[in-house]
Amino acid sequence: MRISVLGGDGYCGWATALYLSKQGHEVSIVDNFARRQWDHELGVETLTPIRPLTERLRVWKALTGRDIELVSGDITEYEVLASMMRDLRPEAVVHFAEQRAAPYSMIDRQHAVFTQVNNVVGTLNLLFAIREFAPDCHLVKLGTMGEYGTPNIDIEEGYIEIEHNGRRDVLPYPKQPGSFYHLSKVHDSHNIAFTCRIWGIRATDLHQGVVYGTITDEVSLDERLINRFDYDEVFGTVLNRFCVEAAVQHPLTVYGKGGQTRGYIDIRDTVRCIELACLNPADRGECRVYNQFTEQFSVLELAHLVQHTATRMGLKVTIDHLPDPRVEKEEHYYNAKHSKLVDLGLEPHLLSESLLDSLLNIAQRYRDRIDQSMFIPRVDWRKARNDRHHTTVETGAAR
Amino acid sequence: MRISVLGGDGYCGWATALYLSKQGHEVSIVDNFARRQWDHELGVETLTPIRPLTERLRVWKALTGRDIELVSGDITEYEVLASMMRDLRPEAVVHFAEQRAAPYSMIDRQHAVFTQVNNVVGTLNLLFAIREFAPDCHLVKLGTMGEYGTPNIDIEEGYIEIEHNGRRDVLPYPKQPGSFYHLSKVHDSHNIAFTCRIWGIRATDLHQGVVYGTITDEVSLDERLINRFDYDEVFGTVLNRFCVEAAVQHPLTVYGKGGQTRGYIDIRDTVRCIELACLNPADRGECRVYNQFTEQFSVLELAHLVQHTATRMGLKVTIDHLPDPRVEKEEHYYNAKHSKLVDLGLEPHLLSESLLDSLLNIAQRYRDRIDQSMFIPRVDWRKARNDRHHTTVETGAAR
């Protein structure tokens, strides 16, 4: 089918675009390269040496014979989306094109406002573009498990039946997001549900867990196809960061007690979930929510798993409990449902020692690119201004 | 106490600023006159001939000896709020400074994006300004009962205790807003609750019902203090519109069956609720939600009340059921709690025949300013583009 991947130059987007192309879908990418820009702003780099998108696409074509069309543009400009929808007539749009790091949104007011405006306006534009130019097109939107927060009851997939004073209704699951970024996803979810109701948009809102891993079958074909692997305190997801820390025998940076429990997913499952959602579109007017993760872990459990694997590999790794820079419960109940994607056919890659092995090996392979000063959290949720602007010089010195 | 009223030139804001000033509070107003601008854009006018804000404030000073300081500026520019907070050091900020009409937000993409960006960014800026310059300042934010939508269970005041699979938690009440405007208020509510949690902001989120009436003790002192009275399809709230329609013997414009039930409040109670919230501030870190309305009515019940009063006054008024331009349930369960403001001391002005009499009299007094073409809904929720730009000429002709 014809699928457009918004944000196809990013971490999940790139893996998804290649996977869908490999499966025989007619794939296009829309991206404005903002993710690369934010690296420059923060003075950080992906562990892995990613190539420019145009080169990636040339290599993919040379290796597989498959074309992926590139639309360079910012979806907060409506005309970018409007012309893409008119010209390419996608049957599904996979929407990754958002600022996706909680710490980035918590740097200061400008970053909070940027994150919410960028994400909300991009999604609004997409909803209007679908309504105007391709009303049958299926929106596959990346949300986050972080929209739910950590309630003291089981987390359902998007909706919950509530009995109250003798009456019943099925209502949107209450949201308690934990950063301006997570809030932006909650705003999106409400906007999407509304347009499903008034315009009959088809939508699947994937509430994704924390993604880990970097190797998918497609990117492993050639080093020039390699995916991002972020390990810095702003964009690095926790398991990836721990593996890089372990590779250089830096203490694992656990925030607070480490009892923070979340849903996790291997990037190889992310790409499969996206295809499953595309192949099984929502009905007109339906706003489906799937919780896209495969296992729950606490941060401390992950640290112990990484420590165990690293030790077996001969690395000496300790665990540091840093003061938690986030405002979150360090111990709490957490039980989130995640059966709908399995019902559609997902066969999870559960976190294994061999996967941790492979992540540690990648980290060791690129160890001369590791900047250890990037491990330490410098964005404090309690402050309204965190200075992340004067990093380059310090970073150079600390390397 | 020192209270700043953001949006103090608008309908609720003006009545509130005068009321608080009269009670002896030290009042300031921040406004960018956007509400007057939207009238020009749409080619509509308030029924009542409102005076420029500077004149209003001069008259108020002349009549009462009381100063109300004016800060002219747009709160989406942070410096406007930052300097106001630094200079005036308000103990409470009452935040009305948002685009507040559902139909305006549904005109087209630009109006949807404008409404959400304007409202969300203004509120984010205010939260940061409180955090940075006056962390003890109490935010009194105007939300809307429309955030809840029309669930099939009782509506509580902001939070609901949910028992689920044998566990319990008190969670934010699920929101199902019905327009891009109502969505913007839901976004605000989530943003506010988050900053209460991370920064210890004190907040009262007033989920207000539909406001009616125009005369408060203060504005009736002098015609130059008169408040807005909007009756057009975009900014006119339903009871005000019905009274103006009745005054010129135009059929009352009920949308669909008229079973749409909402909470309503007299503007004299609005101003009192605001003062009650200010005088009883939320604790640090507390995000209180009060449902600010006093009675529930269906649209058709209101139409019958207006028809009855108008008939007694010798007016011939019929009721028209127009196709509903909104996507909403035309018949539904509705039972919303509203006891918390009464517990603080609110003594409601319930809707009476004498109030309807007075509204009809005002409408008759200014009947030569009524433009009947403004009664008819022209913003259709089902369309992505509603042409509201070419109104002036038609309006002149139809008058």
What is the share, in percent, of chain A residues with pLDDT greater than 90? 97
pLDDT, residue A399, reads 36
- Asked whether the beta carbons of residue A168 and residue B191 sit closer than 8 angstroms, the reply is no
* Mean pLDDT along residues B189-206: 98
The arithmetic mean of pLDDT across residues A365-369, rounded, is 97
> Cβ contacts (< 8 Å) between A131 and chain B: which residues?
384
Average pLDDT over residues A11-20: 98
Tell me the two tokens of residue B338.
Answer: 């509203």
Under the banding of pLDDT at 50, 70 and 90, the label for residue A390 is low
d(CA B293, CA B144): 10
For B242-284, what is each residue's pLDDT tens digit? Answer: 999 999 999 999 999 999 999 999 999 999 999 999 999 999 9
Q: How far A155 CA lies from chain B's nearest CA (Å)?
A: 10
* Cα–Cα distance, A95 to A60 (Å, whole number): 22
Residue A392 has a pLDDT of 46
Phi-psi region of B192 (alpha: psi -120 to 50; beta: other; left: phi over 0): alpha
Q: What pLDDT digit, counting tens, does each position of B334-379 carry? A: 999 999 999 999 999 999 999 999 999 999 999 999 999 999 999 9
Q: Do the chains contact at A167 and B152, CB–CB below 8 Å?
A: yes
> Does residue B133 register a pLDDT over 90?
yes
Cα–Cα dist B233/B235, whole Å: 6
pLDDT at res. A50: 98
Mean pLDDT of B382-391: 83
Band (B390; pLDDT cuts 50, 70, 90): low
Q: Is A223:A196 a contact under the CB 8 Å cutoff?
A: no
pLDDT at B128 over 50: yes
Q: Strand pairing partners for A5?
A: A29, A94
Catalytic residue numbers of B read 144, 181, 185
Q: Which of these, B260, B265, B335, lies nearest to B298 by C-alpha position? A: B260
The reply to whether residue A327 touches residue B197, judged by beta carbons under 8 angstroms, is yes
* A164·B152 Cβ contact <8 A: no
Contact A214, A359 (CB under 8 A): yes
Give the model confidence (pLDDT) of A183-197 as tens digits. 999 999 999 999 999
Is the model's pLDDT at A12 over the cut of 50?
A: yes
A160, A168, A384 ranked by CB distance to B132: nearest: A384
DSSP notation for B97-118: -S---HHHHTSBHHHHHHHHHH
Return the amino acid letter for B359: L
In the predicted model, is pLDDT for residue A393 greater than 60? no
pLDDT digits (tens, 9 = 90+) for A149-166: 999 999 999 999 999 999
The SS3 call for residue B380 is coil
Q: What percent of chain A is modeled with pLDDT above 70?
A: 97
Nearest CA in chain A to B78: A109
pLDDT of residue B398 exceeding 50? no
Helices (H), chain B: 11-22, 34-42, 53-64, 78-88, 102-105, 109-133, 180-199, 238-247, 267-279, 299-312, 340-343, 353-365, 392-398
Q: Which residue of chain A is at minimal alpha-carbon distance from B173?
A: A174
Chain A environment of B116 (Cβ under 8 Å): 120-121, 124, 187, 191
What is the pLDDT, as a whole number, of residue A136?
Answer: 98
Q: In the prediction, which pLDDT does A389 show?
A: 67
Q: Is 80 exceeded by the pLDDT of residue A276?
A: yes
In angstroms, the separation between the Cα of residue A382 and the nearest Cα of chain B is: 6
| Residue in this structure with the two tokens 């995000």, named with its chain if needed | B287
What confidence tens digit (pLDDT) does each residue in B137-159 have? Answer: 999 999 999 999 999 999 999 99
Chain A CA closest to residue B114:
A121
pLDDT (tens digit per residue) in B155-177: 999 999 999 999 999 999 999 99
Q: Give the list of residues 6+ apart from residue A15 with CB closer than 8 angstroms, or none.
A: A216, A218, A219, A227, A267, A270, A271
With tokens 């192949």, the residue in question is: A279
